[in-house]
Amino acid sequence: MAAPRIDYRALFAATPSPYLVLDRDLVMVEANEAYLRATGRTRDELLGRYLFDVHPDNPADQDADGVRNLKASLQRVMRSKEPDTMAVQKYDLPVSGRPGVFQEKWWSPVNTPVIGDDGEVRWIIHRVEDMTEFVLARPLRLTPGDPGGEHRAVEAELFTRAQELQLLNEELREAHDWERRIALTLQKAMLHSPDLPGHREIAVRYLPATRSLNVCGDWYDVVDLSDDRFTVAVGDVVGHGLEAAAVMGMLRSTLSAAVRATDEPGKAMDVLSQYARTFEGALATTAVKAVVDTRHQLITHTSAGHLPPLLARPDGTVILLDQATDPPLGVLPDLRPRPQATAPYSSGDTLVLYTDGLVERRGEDIDAGLHRLADALTLHTSLSPDQLADTLLSRLGVADGGQDDIALIIVRL
């Protein structure tokens, strides 16, 4: 039996709770009948207008903070792409047809994002419940001899605690934002590559794991060795957050200095491995480094337990550079030099270095992710490095970040 067709517009209009739909500019684009009744407004008075032009703060109330609180909640929804539940708010409404006259109102709001096909917030659903009668009918103090006084006192106490909880949440959000700004500044400083701006043929991307502080233990680096030789590298420290980022900064700097001194990726990785064994947080770090010789069109590469770089030809052929892979840093005693291998390339080839967050998926063999990456390269290798970097992230489903950190380098040779 065929499923019945549902008139969603009629369902929205009949929903008993008040609902208002806002676009990204906080312009009201739809409202149901319950919202019109709760606010005493008509559709013509609301739709197409900026929310806070229609619902300003009551100028007679010096403590009015409804606009500030609601605007902050809506901005959080657009940033986080997650619903935001607010504590009960005092937000007086202008009386229609009586300029300057406001009616005392208390609301319980919830703001919910509607995500578009591009992964961005397209609309926000603003749902409110009118709490005015409840709040005004319950005194905040006990009345002697009132048989229901104790129950109402508990309700009032819950309401007061909800208001206090909102203030505490706002303080926590401000503290989190402050910590995040510090973390981003630290991460930017540690990932600084002075030689990168001189390489228009190189694109880099860095995406921390979702729901993190936007800092991670993955890294990328670009270092010029001479006029015709440069090196690129990516690495992955175990863990997330500031501690992993601090370890990342030390290892990245060490490898960058080592390759300048030794001029060979295998020897540079030996130095890094010895250094990694001196502190616990660096153990089991993986890294891959490649030296590109533009005069002889050769790539010399080495890997410490890392996923292999990929070399894509203009005809769509993709080659895994996996001939020089050893265990991760600090895992084994350094009894022998780490291997390195050399691969020729032609003009127009594309070299791709990445960390496992790009291809690894929970419950899936890593080879499946490598095949997805190779297939995407085959289809899109003709794109510019910047376009290709964004396309790979999108095709592999991590354009907005994934469950693990991601570092990516695209080099057009």
Angstrom distance (rounded) from CA 271 to CA 256 = 11
Distances (CA, A) of 203 to 160, 176, 291, 378, 410: 53, 31, 16, 18, 5
Instruction: Quickly count: other Cβ atoms within 10 Å of residue 272's Cβ.
Output: 28
DSSP 8-class letter at 178:
H
Residue with tokens 């990342």: 248
pLDDT averages per 10-residue partition of the chain, 413 residues: 75 89 94 91 92 91 88 90 84 83 87 89 91 69 49 52 61 66 68 86 84 68 91 84 74 84 85 81 85 95 92 94 87 75 95 92 86 93 93 88 83 95
Q: What is the pLDDT of residues 300-323, one digit of tens each?
A: 999 988 999 999 999 999 999 999
Q: Model's pTM, two decimal places?
A: 0.60
Q: Which helix (H) or strand (E) holds 269?
A: helix 265-276
Q: What is the pLDDT of residues 54-106, one digit of tens each?
A: 999 999 888 888 899 899 999 999 988 888 888 778 888 888 778 888 988 88
Residue by residue, DSSP assigns 324-352 as SEEPPTTSS---SPPP-EEEE--TT-EEE
Structure-block tokens of residue 365: 């063999």
Angstrom distance (rounded) from CA 9 to CA 269 = 63
